[in-house]
Chain A
Amino acid sequence: MNRGLNLIKTLITITISLVIGIITIVLTSSEPLTAIDAFFRGPFSNSYFFGNMLASSIPLILTGLAASVAFSASNFNLGLEGQVYFSALVGTYLAVNLSSLPAFLLIIIVLAVSSLAGGLLAALSGYLKAKWNVNELISSLLVSYTIIYVTDFFVEGPFKDPMAGFSASPYFSNDLMLSKILPPSQLHTGIFIAVGIVIFMYFVCKKSNLGFEIYITGRNKHFSKYAGISIGKIMVISMMISGILAGLAGMIDVFGIHGRVIRGFSAGYGWNGIAVALIARSNPILVIPAALFFAFLESGANVGSLLSDITPEVARIIQSVVFYLVTAEGLLAFIKSRKKVKTDD
């Protein structure tokens, strides 16, 4: 019953935001019908657009999952964006400098080390919270901003490709790149990795001891501690997993599309991941449709701007409306549930 209700609420949220998107297009476009048509049907009109849409959903699936895991433990990892960049930097550096290793082995090593880099970054905030009760929301955000500038420093200076006309590292070997599906679109086999990780994380969250500990701690940490769960450990581990997933989002994007780390390559993957997790209500499986929806908005606006006169920012407007509605609704549900507890007979 509850689940059905949530689905209806989510559908209403999405409908309202799409209607607002349509209104924006009508107001700003001189040929609204063409623009709307391009926006909604564009991403499905040919395999190139469709492939690109799926490609842009890959990092969102992973950052959405990252945010979900942290939310489940009642931790707010607002440092996803920084973890995405940091992992991409570390991974690219390894991929460039260890090129003598066999490709398959190197990919594994790069993914492992780079995602761990993101994980440690997030785990730091978890540790600070467990140890000194430092608000993880703020610490992860601040660390993230700093680390983005650090990454920028490297790709502008010591780790800059002198041939590139903009801030980017050197390319690593083309052999390391994930194979493309549906060329010439950007879609790559990373999508299978992402879906595999989602399924794995679903089982971890729902069926493992760790998942149970994360869930119980997220619901009520006093109870969790009393029951014998080490809540400090859970804070660190849940943040770490979140950071690892964000790191994978960054590095898989680099392996699939860019072949190097570029300043600003993450089109807000971290931030949109938070919205994706909110729409999915932190359910690992629902992260996939939520990420696809965000990717669709992005692609629709891009196609629309190619084929008519709207700007890609239309996607931002719709995304932000979704974001507002989902957070407002989440807040309402939270207040209601608090009231319920208080007025219990």
Chain B
Amino acid sequence: MEEYILQMKNIHKIYESNNVAALKGANLLVKKSRIHALVGENGAGKTTMMKILCGIEPKNDGEIVLDGKKLSITDPRQGFKHGLGMVHQHFRLIEDFTIAENIALGIEKTKAGFIDQETVEEKICRLSNESGLIVTPEMKVKNLSIGEKQKVEILRVLYRGAKIIILDEPTSVLTEQETEELFSTIRTLKNQGKTIIFISHKLGEVKEISDDITILRNGITVESGNIRSYTKERISYLMVGEEINIYRKTNFNDKKEKPETLLEVKSLYVNDQENAERVSDANITVGKGEIVGIAGVAGNGQLYLTESLMGLVKPRKGKIILCNEEITHLTVRQRREAGLSYIPEDRMKVGVSTSSSVLENLIATRYYKKDFSNKGWLNYGNTLSFVKSLVEKSRIKTPSLNIKVGMLSGGNIQKVIISREFSSDPQLLIVCEPTWGLDVRSIEFVYSSLIKMKEKNKGILLISGNLDEILNLSDRILVMYGGKIVASLENSSKLTRAEIGEYMMGLRSNEKKVCKYE
């Protein structure tokens, strides 16, 4: 029998701040030099489990045995000493520092009180070569892409001599190509004898990369074993306790005549703050009862496009027409009143104010309206009853309306945003990465909400890097690459991921203007 390098037995954890029992006797047994997947819904306790392992959070009960020795650590530095390294979902890098500085931060080698830059860079280069994580040590982190930042995070963990590397949902922020790169890195590390704990929601990836699997549900280990003995369906079933079919197909057969146009974008150009062109000559139409998907690798102008539609960024040129009225020069509030709603990509920074209450977040787009305000003074009675009904209708799980939104789970935060944006009777919804980082149940809520709006004859512009999402929901699919819309495709059962993928990677283009240069 193979030796377990790590054993976590009967772990209990109760968060004092909200008295929630995150772990109720969870177990995790990991073999040496294996890739071990830890899966579970949001809030199942995966991250908590890993934080306890690394000493970031204290446990209430249970036992951890590492390399045959009982382990009790209380702070992350001790975790590093024992060879435990965690790559967090949200990066913890200092943007203004170089890659080398970020990697060495906290354990700098010094020469007479000064940082020994050469030794540090030498070591980074060696690690970089061994692991296949190629970076330029003297580059500043703020100039890196998300995939590169993740490489820096992994190198930082390796730099500290980690033997067990924990990756917390590492692919949720990556493009497909970057994911492939990450997987080859993971395999290289495994071959070098490292043990990897891989936390993910994406079952396809879990099947592809891992050797063993542990499934958590509600703070308890449900099952554990070799990945080969589990199908995706089985894992999904164990995670949520019931089968949820998230792959709902849109019916392609009900194609009638062209729907009435709701939104029309005419040759829109958007520049960023440095005056670089981010969107060039975008032409988009969305009709009533239509979902138009915009696929694309993150950073190809989608954010600038949506923000300029919403009025958060000024376009340089072009026209935006909603319900036959030009809205190009309207303020955000005027656009909202004209019938726009927006679910932003950055939920925590833009979509909600995490340090404000549920009530304040839900009322923030309409507090000034007649029902809630009289001559500049707020009517709390009406506000309260409105928010209450909204919370009930959308089944937002919150202990109170006065709790800060930041205390809610990711799925519930998205519910707050969706219920607010969908309840204003919008004509057109701009929806960006609506299921990013959500668990299966929350994804189900998002999809059914979108379909309901479509059935009510609203228009939806869906921006997503998740191709399945685009294919499952959209009537028409546009692909953005390098700030241009390079393809406009009717969704049909014949359309393949591979075809869209080629447009996304800039390998193909059906826009004549672009073709001319080839």
Which residues in A have some Cβ–Cβ distance to B below 8 Å?
Answer: 207-210, 212, 215-216, 219-220, 222-230, 337, 340-345
Contacts and interface: CB of A to CB of B under 8 A. Distances in A.
A219 B350 CA distance: 11
Nearest to B344: A226
Contacts of B342: 226
B201 to A, nearest CB: 13
B222 to A, nearest CB: 18
A226 B309 CA distance: 12
Residue among B51, B335, B346, B367 facing the most chain A CB atoms (10 A cut-off):
B367
A226 B377 contact: no
Contacts of B344: 226
B42 A223 contact: no
Nearest to B373: A209
Given A220-B356, A223-B349, A225-B312, A210 B376 contact: yes
Contact of A223 (B47, B351, B378): B351
Interface in B349-383: 349-356, 360, 364-365, 367-368, 373, 376-378, 380
Given A216-B353, A342-B92, A226 B368 contact: no
Contacts of A207: 377-378, 380
Contacts of A337: 355
Contacts of B367: 209, 212
Contact of A209 (B47, B92, B355, B376): B376
Contact of A208 (B22, B47, B378): B378
Contact of A226 (B310, B355, B373): B310
Interface residues of B, number: 41
Contact of A228 (B42, B90, B333, B360): B333
Given A226-B344, A226-B350, 10 more contacts: A208-B377, A215-B356, A219-B356, A220-B352, A223-B353, A224-B364, A225-B332, A341-B348, A345-B43, A345-B410
B358 to A, nearest CB: 13
B110 interface: no
Residue among A208, A225, A227 facing the most chain B CB atoms (10 A cut-off):
A227
Interface of B: 22, 42-43, 47-48, 51, 56, 90, 92, 310, 312, 331-333, 335-336, 342, 344, 346, 348-356, 360, 364-365, 367-368, 373, 376-378, 380, 406, 409-410
Contacts of A219: 353, 355-356
A343 B406 CA distance: 11
A220 B354 contact: yes
Contact of A227 (B90, B354, B365, B376): B365
Q: Which 6 residue pairs across A and B have the least CB separation, nearest first?
A: A228-B333, A220-B353, A227-B364, A223-B353, A228-B332, A219-B353
B354 A341 contact: yes
B129 to A, nearest CB: 32
25 contacts: A208-B378, A209-B368, A210-B376, A212-B360, A216-B360, A219-B355, A219-B356, A220-B352, A222-B346, A222-B349, A222-B350, A224-B353, A224-B364, A225-B312, A226-B312, A226-B332, A226-B344, A226-B350, A227-B364, A227-B365, A228-B331, A229-B333, A340-B406, A343-B51, A345-B22
Contact of B355 (A220, A222, A227, A229): A220
Contact of B350 (A223, A229, A344): A223
Given A216-B356, A225-B332, A345 B348 contact: no
Residue among B51, B335, B365, B378 facing the most chain A CB atoms (10 A cut-off):
B378
Nearest to A231: B332
Contacts of A223: 349-353, 364
B87 to A, nearest CB: 14
B429 to A, nearest CB: 14
A207 B372 CA distance: 11
Nearest to A2: B404
Given A209-B376, A209-B378, A227-B365, A341 B353 contact: no
B48 A228 contact: no
Contacts of B360: 212, 215-216
A72 to B, nearest CB: 12
Residue among A207, A222, A228 facing the most chain B CB atoms (10 A cut-off):
A228
B91 to A, nearest CB: 10
A212 B356 CA distance: 11
B349 A220 contact: yes
Contacts of A345: 22, 42-43, 47-48, 409-410
A210 B368 CA distance: 9
Residue among B333, B355, B364 facing the most chain A CB atoms (10 A cut-off):
B364
Nearest to A216: B364
Nearest to B17: A340
A208 B376 CA distance: 6
B418 to A, nearest CB: 14
A222 B312 CA distance: 9
Contacts of A340: 406
Residue among A220, A230, A341 facing the most chain B CB atoms (10 A cut-off):
A220
A229 B311 CA distance: 12
A91 B31 CA distance: 80
Nearest to B349: A222
A221 to B, nearest CB: 9
Residue among A207, A341, A344 facing the most chain B CB atoms (10 A cut-off):
A344
B406 A341 contact: yes
A95 to B, nearest CB: 32
Contacts of A209: 367-368, 373, 376-378
B228 to A, nearest CB: 30
Nearest to A212: B367
